[in-house]
Structure 1
């Protein structure tokens, strides 16, 4: 299985950190934020479950732009063979 070596950018890392600290953030947003922060180094990639969550967030009209931005980052770091 090939490995995706992309890393979370500084800007997305900052957004993820702010999301986790915000008590008003949804559980989905916090999950995406945690996944994005876990991928700050190059040795981790998005799992199949988070891939599915991120894809659903992106096609839904019910999430804030910040949540969609986290979802896009997480999805871009998914395994390319899945």
Structure 2
């Protein structure tokens, strides 16, 4: 797996943690939150192509909730720029 030098900020990581614990969060929000948290620890995790695609579509969707766009933005910003 490719290494990633970028990390999720503590603010977004906190949002991701709250999202994972929320009963009202959508499946997409929880997937994005999980990906963002995976990239928060400094382990060099790389965003996968599937979640990158889902995050990109969420950002393009004007109906996406602000928390969805926050998490999606973090995930996409840490994606593989060669894709």
Instruction: Quickly name the TM-score band, shorter chain normalised.
Output: over 0.9
Offset at 1:5? Answer: 1.1
Q: Structure 2: give runs of 5+ residues left out of the alignment.
A: none
TM-score scaled to structure 2, two decimals?
Answer: 0.92
> What value does the CA root-mean-square deviation take over the aligned residues?
1.4
Q: How many residue pairs are counted as aligned between the two chains?
A: 82
Asked which structure has the greater RCO (Cα within 8 Å, sep 6+), the reply is 1
TM-score, with length taken from structure 1: 0.93
1:50 maps to 51
Q: 5 Å matches for 1:31-70?
A: 31-40=31-40, 41-70=42-71
Is the partner of 2:8 in helix, strand or coil?
A: coil
Q: Which runs of 5+ in 1 are unaligned?
A: none
Deviation at 1:81, TM superposition (A): 1.0
